[in-house]
Structure 1
Amino acid sequence: MTTEQKEFVRATVPVLKEHGVALTTYFYNRMLTHNPELKNVFNSANQRTGAQPTALAMSVLAYAEHIDNPGVLTQAVGRIAHKHVSLDIRPEQYAIVGKHLLASIREVLGEAAGPELMDAWTAAYNQLAQILIGAEANLYQGSVDKEGGWSSWRPFVVRQKVRESAEITSFYLYPTDGGKVADFLPGQYITVRLFVPELNVLQPRQYSLSCAPNGNYYRISVKRESGDQQRPAGYVSNMLHHQVQEGAILEVAPPAGDFTLDMDKTSPAVFISGGVGLTPFMSMLEYLIQAGKDRPITWIHGCRGYEVHAFKDTVSELSDRHGVMSVHTFYDQLEDQTQDNYYEGYVDLSKVKDAIVPQADYYICGPGIFIKKHFDYLRSEGVDASAIHFEEFGPAILVVA
């Protein structure tokens, strides 16, 4: 990109801050109208709630703000690349996205989108596309090179369904070809794709792997999303709970994700989860124990109550086996006030005496508001931001600093 083109891109930052979501909402509507086959790629619920357009708007804004040095966005680019690989996004689809994104800029901005501005954004988009395509090519190749690895979609059979709580059920997935499955880093996820008759499209969903790598199967633990005034009931989660039975075949993409446990560290680890956010930590915990790691662990989990508390007994058993682990549980309403290390109310790190541990790494998983609350608290207690790792389920719209 030329210096002049970068200046034009930077000049759109105020517009993106004020109208970015309107622009990206227009873009998605335009693209999915002209290329309806892409409805099989995008999460329809995130489109309806506006989460996907918001996430894209924030990404475009960050790119425009750092157009002089896109290298500072390496972590964000890596996270996007993992998500794209999990959805089997391919290089040729970038041409479609670019066509509609640039057309949306021109149509939304109108006369303000002069030839120089459009040339600048064309160059900027092509630069970003090449960065992502390169990162994704490496991830695809890495998946294929692993023993038991593959690219795109692979059929798996549901061998077991296990009820973990009133809302969460585990699915044990084995490849139908009888082969091995690729190892993964504890904390990663896989994508499951189902045909949803009500929408007449395929719908992909990412679910954290909730077991340690074992070479034979994957386990996902899925919360049945009942829906509320803000968000409709989950099509795929309800199909998995009510319609997908043992013996059913599911399409699965290879493991992906950058929210992972550093398996070489020996310093303390603090896991902080809300609701179904404990699933990636189950993988991390099982790995640490199976690998014989004596890394000190503090486990902090919050949910509404006993009936929806998944893996309660499993975590207790693993804690006993580990020996250097403390478990703290928060319920919205506590029925038994005499239990040690149980607290009433939302997760509050100030109530956990061993929540702040010197040289610890902190892993947080849950809704965006949950993550931000605990990130801000840890920072206020002097924890360095580099020691705080988090995963926001759904499109990443959280900004913390």
Structure 2
Amino acid sequence: MLDEKTIEIIKSTVPVLEEHGEEITGRFYDLLFQHHPELLNIFNQTNQKKKTQRTALSNAVIAAAANIDRLENIVPVVKQISHKHRSIGVKPEHYPIVGKYLLIAIKDVLKDGAAPEVIQAWEKAYGVIADAFIGIEKDMYEQAETQKGGWKDYKAFQIDKKVKESKEITSFYLKPEDGQVLPEFKAGQYISVKVYIPDTGYTHIRQYSLSDVSGKDYYRISVKKEGIVSSYLHDQLHEKDSIEISAPAGDFVLDPDSKKNLVLISAGVGITPMISMLKTVAKTQPQRNVLFIHAARSGEYHALRHEAEEAAEHSSVDTLFIYSEPSEQDRSENIRFREGRIDKQLLEEVMTDKDADFYLCGSPSFIKEMKKLISEFNTPPESIHYELFEPQLSMV
């Protein structure tokens, strides 16, 4: 536990961190990779270039400082981050390295504002926060390894099948090379894929949602071609090739005890975890009312549509597809779609019961807009769940 003086000093630094946070975290990452280039094999360098990771870390440091006297307030976020850390392979030995260069970055940026007592207070606080992460992640590593069919870190899988789902999205059916049974996963979880791309000099790790139900002899990911790793998967990897993946992780999952109606709203490649949720509910809770809303540019950009339609045929599922730029082919086919975008009027029209569990997945702007619309129905925050593709609060 931290003493009152340390807590007081940490909380007093919040305004300074709010002003200089991203400068500090930018300096931190520069120092980290300069002195530990091996960590380039863990960190997403695309997010580094876009500066989204430094923003996420800055937000995390500010949140930790503001809640340093009641860290239980950020436990849900810590667990969310820890899922990602376990998935990509963050280990206890990484935390002292991060702490060292974070403190140096604070000194470098704040200069005279980083008095010795401030640095000492942050050194203590970081130790407490790091211990919380290490403890939670230790349990997650043990669970991943000791569960039936589980494994430690990464395991070799073969691409059993590649299926083009839309103009931009391809599904990869992955089977373990050792032929062992696969661990169960919760609908909405993801796996990390680790690949070495020639000419880049280091490995790349990306998270992809599992897009099918659990209990099969394969894991399926449905990947949009939009960056260096996804392009490598699409263009350079073929059926029978091998890739390494981590065991499933993530806390964006269905509440197994909820009996409320379920509303799944997605856009673009955000459909991937939603299809897993939809097919799981259709299989395990066929009487539960589900409204499945998906937005896409047009039919040729709409992946996994037939699987959503099939789920609706055999359970209490209602589907609605929204196309912003429908083609003539879309109009000629027997597809239930509406032209336009998801707005409040549409939601009011199609939602018969607004006391529901809402799950959202898509771009940050899409999530922000959907949260705003749903909140206007006086939906409690705990009933709105979402998954972002951008970095969120992250300590490393």
Q: Give the TM-score taking structure 1 as reference length.
A: 0.94
Q: Secondary structure at the match of 2:314?
A: helix
Return the alpha-carbon distance in structure 2 between the equivalents of residues 363 and 349 of structure 1.
16
Moved more, 346-355 or 201-210: 346-355
Q: How far does the alpha carbon of each residue in 1:323-357 deviate from its partner, in whole angstroms, 9 at most, with x for none?
A: x1111111112345697752222222421423362
- Residue matched to 2:102: 101
Contact map agreement 1:186 1:280 (CA 8 A) in 2: yes
- Residue matched to 2:340: 345
Equivalences for residues 198-277 of structure 1 within 5 A: 198-225=199-226, 234-277=227-270
- Residue matched to 1:76: 77
Return the alpha-carbon distance in structure 2 between the equivalents of residues 340 and 32 of structure 1.
50
Moved more, 336-345 or 147-156: 336-345
Contact map agreement 2:189 2:252 (CA 8 A) in 1: yes
Return the alpha-carbon distance in structure 2 between the equivalents of residues 48 and 260 of structure 1.
30
Return the alpha-carbon distance in structure 2 between the equivalents of residues 209 and 392 of structure 1.
15
Return the alpha-carbon distance in structure 1 between the equivalents of residues 106 and 23 of structure 2.
11
- Residue matched to 1:11: 12
> How far has the Cα of 1:314 moved from its partner?
1.6
In structure 2, the CA distance between the partners of 1:340 and 1:224, relative to structure 1 (3 Å rule), is closer
Q: How far does the alpha carbon of each residue in 1:367-399 deviate from its partner, in whole angstroms, 9 at most, with x for none?
A: 11111111111111111111000010130169x
Contact map agreement 2:262 2:290 (CA 8 A) in 1: yes
Tell me which amino acid in the other structure corresponds to 1:280.
P
- Residue matched to 1:120: 121
Return the alpha-carbon distance in structure 1 between the equivalents of residues 47 and 318 of structure 2.
36
Q: Secondary structure at the match of 1:132?
A: helix
Q: Specify which of 373, 379, 395 is matched with residue 377 of structure 1.
A: 373
In the alignment, is residue 394 of structure 1 matched against residue 395 of structure 2?
A: no
Moved more, 344-353 or 173-182: 344-353
Contact map agreement 1:39 1:201 (CA 8 A) in 2: yes
- Residue matched to 1:328: 320
- Residue matched to 1:47: 48
Pairs aligned (count)? 389
Return the alpha-carbon distance in structure 2 between the equivalents of residues 264 and 185 of structure 1.
13
Moved more, 41-50 or 286-295: 286-295
- Residue matched to 2:190: 189
Q: Secondary structure at the match of 2:93?
A: helix
In structure 2, the CA distance between the partners of 1:155 and 1:244, relative to structure 1 (3 Å rule), is same
Return the alpha-carbon distance in structure 2 between the equivalents of residues 7 and 208 of structure 1.
41
Contact map agreement 1:193 1:204 (CA 8 A) in 2: yes
Tell me which amino acid in the other structure corresponds to 2:213.
A
Q: How far does the alpha carbon of each residue in 1:303-330 deviate from its partner, in whole angstroms, 9 at most, with x for none?
A: 11111100112211111112x1111111
> How far has the Cα of 1:263 moved from its partner?
2.4
> How far has the Cα of 1:215 moved from its partner?
4.7
Contact map agreement 2:188 2:254 (CA 8 A) in 1: yes
Tell me which amino acid in the other structure corresponds to 1:334.
P
Q: Give the TM-score taking structure 2 as reference length.
A: 0.95
Return the alpha-carbon distance in structure 1 between the equivalents of residues 51 and 257 of structure 2.
39
> How far has the Cα of 1:359 moved from its partner?
2.8
Return the alpha-carbon distance in structure 1 between the equivalents of residues 307 and 115 of structure 2.
61
Tell me which amino acid in the other structure corresponds to 1:331.
Y
Q: How far does the alpha carbon of each residue in 1:222-263 deviate from its partner, in whole angstroms, 9 at most, with x for none?
A: 0000xxxxxxxx111000000000011111011100000122
Tell me which amino acid in the other structure corresponds to 1:370.
F
Return the alpha-carbon distance in structure 1 between the equivalents of residues 335 and 152 of structure 2.
47
- Residue matched to 1:168: 169
Return the alpha-carbon distance in structure 2 between the equivalents of residues 9 and 242 of structure 1.
49
Q: How far does the alpha carbon of each residue in 1:27-50 deviate from its partner, in whole angstroms, 9 at most, with x for none?
A: 011101110000000011000000
> How far has the Cα of 1:264 moved from its partner?
2.9
Q: Percent identity?
A: 39
Q: Secondary structure at the match of 1:315?
A: helix
Contact map agreement 1:158 1:248 (CA 8 A) in 2: yes
Tell me which amino acid in the other structure corresponds to 1:303.
A
Return the alpha-carbon distance in structure 1 between the equivalents of residues 99 and 72 of structure 2.
21
Q: 5+ unaligned residues in a row in structure 2: which ranges?
A: none
Return the alpha-carbon distance in structure 2 between the equivalents of residues 268 and 185 of structure 1.
19
In the alignment, is residue 360 of structure 1 matched against residue 356 of structure 2?
A: yes
Moved more, 326-335 or 29-38: 326-335
Return the alpha-carbon distance in structure 2 between the equivalents of residues 392 and 344 of structure 1.
25
Equivalences for residues 54-73 of structure 1 within 5 A: 54-73=55-74
Q: 5+ unaligned residues in a row in structure 1: which ranges?
A: 226-233
- Residue matched to 1:229: none
In the alignment, is residue 302 of structure 1 matched against residue 295 of structure 2?
A: yes
Return the alpha-carbon distance in structure 1 between the equivalents of residues 23 and 31 of structure 2.
12
In the alignment, is residue 288 of structure 1 matched against residue 289 of structure 2?
A: no
> How far has the Cα of 1:293 moved from its partner?
3.0
> How far has the Cα of 1:145 moved from its partner?
2.2
Return the alpha-carbon distance in structure 1 between the equivalents of residues 173 and 70 of structure 2.
44
Contact map agreement 1:158 1:249 (CA 8 A) in 2: yes
Moved more, 334-343 or 290-299: 334-343
- Residue matched to 1:138: 139
Contact map agreement 1:349 1:355 (CA 8 A) in 2: no
Return the alpha-carbon distance in structure 2 between the equivalents of residues 270 and 355 of structure 1.
8
Tell me which amino acid in the other structure corresponds to 2:64.
Y
Return the alpha-carbon distance in structure 2 between the equivalents of residues 2 and 266 of structure 1.
44
Return the alpha-carbon distance in structure 2 between the equivalents of residues 188 and 349 of structure 1.
29
